[in-house]
Amino acid sequence: MSQVTLLAAKLTEQQFDLLPIGICVIDHDHIIIKWNAVLTSWTGISTDRAVGSKLMDHYPNLLSARFLPRIQEVFKSGQPALFAPSTTHPFLPDPNQSVLLKTLISSLGGQGQFAQICLTDVTSQYSQIQDLRKEKEQHLISRDRAKAADLAKSEFLANMSHEIRTPMTAILGYADLLSDEQLVDSQRRKAINTIKRNGQHLLTIINDILDLSKIEAGKMTLEQIQTDPVRIVNEVLSLMLARAQDKGIDLVIKYDTPIPEQITSDPTKLQQILLNLLGNALKFTEMGSVTLHMAADSVRQQFQVRVVDTGIGMSAEQRDTISRFEAFHQANNSTTRQFGGSGLGLRISNSFAHLLGGEINVESVLGEGSTFTMTVSTGNLKGTRILNPELIGQRLEKTSQEEGQKLYGLAEKPLEGSRLLLAEDGPDNQRLISFILEKAGAYVTLAENGQIAVDKVHEANRSGKAFDVILMDMQMPVIDGYEATRQLRKEDYAGPIIALTAHAMAEDRQKCLNAGCDNYTTKPIDRKMLVSVIAEYTSVKYSTTPVEAPAT
């Protein structure tokens, strides 16, 4: 009995067809002896058509230089030949099939009479291996990213500790010096100015951290109101002028195109972006100039400011790092050590620019300087007056005069004779704010919490000496400023209530207004601005209906 007969005896045709692999048996002349159902499903060639025919009649490519020598070697030596998995196997007539076949050719029968070709579909196994490999690679990438993020955050925290402790050292140190009675006036003024400057620096850091947290959480909100871009740029310029003069740097503004009188934007965020860009330019420029170029494109509805400096500049690598605007990153660590800074400003500014419909781009040459270009959307400019440089100059002069009258008041004591209620639970803040208001000519009544504030309003109205303005701290014991304001409005109290709070986010302002406040100002207070805001309300006498305490 031949070996093929023996093979056939071991497996019935049904069993042979049930094998999960494709099997073809050929003799020494490449005539097909066996052909199972799996091969039929893959190739479309039936068993009846295949058996008795030559394999090369169906697949001449199979007997090419790749397969023929290996088949001949199997017949000669009896040693099996294995081919790596392939999606372009000759047994797959459709090139679009995504089947991955592994081929094993082995000898059957004595003296190499027959060769068995086994085709195994390893698509699933290979896919699993690939998935595991990708999962491992992704895990390694995620691990490296996590390490990099942890390192960046550690460096950031160390830098923030330095940034906070440095001004705190100056504040506490100079505050201690002020207690020295032997200081002359010039030394006291220097100490006071140092404390103020470092306190403002601390406030900037706190605001940056709060802004970043809002951005990272996707909860940053913006206003979309009529905004005067020329006025904002010139306010930023005036704020930075003293710093430029101290360093002997020319600070210049140029109008490259006519500028719209109004755009639709968020004036606070726009000012913050410009302050950051101009502050950076001044920080990294030791000599030469910093120039602000203003331009507008009414067709594309874009407002643009280019801040060009003659500072230290950046290498291409440093520029690329900065251009990613990642949190906790500066150009390099040596920049942080030499010039300071938290590394948050550009990240925040770029996020604001995107929210305002624009972006920030960076160009720089090491040793020659940098150019930061900010663009924001203007909104619809239809009907908006477009100002040429001459009109801009005239308008700024008029605006400056109006603002000076509004901010400082025409009288030496702009709050002369005004009756104010200050609801504030902090003793230090009570003394500070009372001193400022009384120096401006006001009579100040204190309330340590929201309930006392409500009671004092009742008492003042019953006596016929209603308060002209209530300054309401929003976070106080017993009842807070929100509840106290709501109670007074519910009782038809019509007098002005100005929120005074350390919460400085845009939604905090809206929360105060929703509670019934007429205006909003933040801590730390700007004394001139505080007096100016109060003066707006004391110039109009409200007719307040006397409010009786609710029945208990």
Task: Estimate the crossing angle of helix 427-439 against helix 527-538, to 10 degrees.
Answer: 60
Q: Which residue has the higher pLDDT, 318 or 433?
A: 433
For the ranges 96-110, 190-204, 327-341, 403-417, the maximum mean pLDDT occurs at 190-204
CATH number for the domain running over 409-538: 3.40.50.2300
Q: Which residue has the higher pLDDT, 503 or 347?
A: 347
| Preceding peptide of 524 cis, ω within 30° | yes
Strands 101-108 and 114-121: antiparallel
Tokens 């002005």 belong to residue: 496
CATH number for the domain running over 139-216: 1.10.287.130
Give the residue range(s) of CATH 3.30.450.20 domains in the chain.
3-121
Strands 32-35 and 22-27: antiparallel
**Which pLDDT score, from 0 to 100, does residue 92 have?**
64
For the ranges 269-273, 363-367, 548-552, the lowest mean pLDDT is seen at: 548-552
Instruction: Evaluate if residue 65 carries a pLDDT over 80.
Output: no
Helices (H), 217-266: 229-247
Please say whether the structural domain 3-121 has been given the CATH code 3.30.450.20.
Answer: yes
Tokens of 2: 């031949």
Superfamily of domain 225-407: Histidine kinase-like ATPase, C-terminal domain (3.30.565.10)
Compute the distance between CA of residue 234 and CA of residue 389 in angstroms, rounded to an integer.
13
Q: At 373, which helix (H) or strand (E)?
A: strand 369-377
Confidence bin at 504 (pLDDT 50/70/90)? low
Q: Mean pLDDT score of the chain, rounded to an integer? A: 80
Compute the distance between CA of residue 280 and CA of residue 411 in angstroms, rounded to an integer.
39
Give the residue range(s) of CATH 3.40.50.2300 domains in the chain.
409-538
Measure CA of the first residue to CA of the last residue in the chain; give whole Å: 115
Contacts of 360 (CB under 8 A, 6+ apart): 273, 277, 325, 346, 349, 350, 353, 372, 373, 374, 375
Contacts of 11 (CB under 8 A, 6+ apart): none
**Which pLDDT score, from 0 to 100, does residue 168 have?**
84
Confidence bin at 76 (pLDDT 50/70/90)? confident
Q: What are phi and psi of 96, to 5 degrees?
A: -90, -5
Instruction: Evaluate if residue 467 carries a pLDDT over 80.
Output: yes
Give the residue range(s) of CATH 1.10.287.130 domains in the chain.
139-216
Q: Which residue has the higher pLDDT, 103 or 399?
A: 103
User: How many C-beta atoms surround the C-beta of residue 252 within 10 A?
Assistant: 13
Per cent of the chain over pLDDT 70 is 81
Q: Is the CB of residue 104 less than 8 Å from the CB of residue 82?
A: yes
Tokens of 39: 């091969």
Tokens of 552: 């208990």
Per cent of the chain over pLDDT 90 is 24
Among 109, 78, 110, smallest CA distance to 4 is for 109
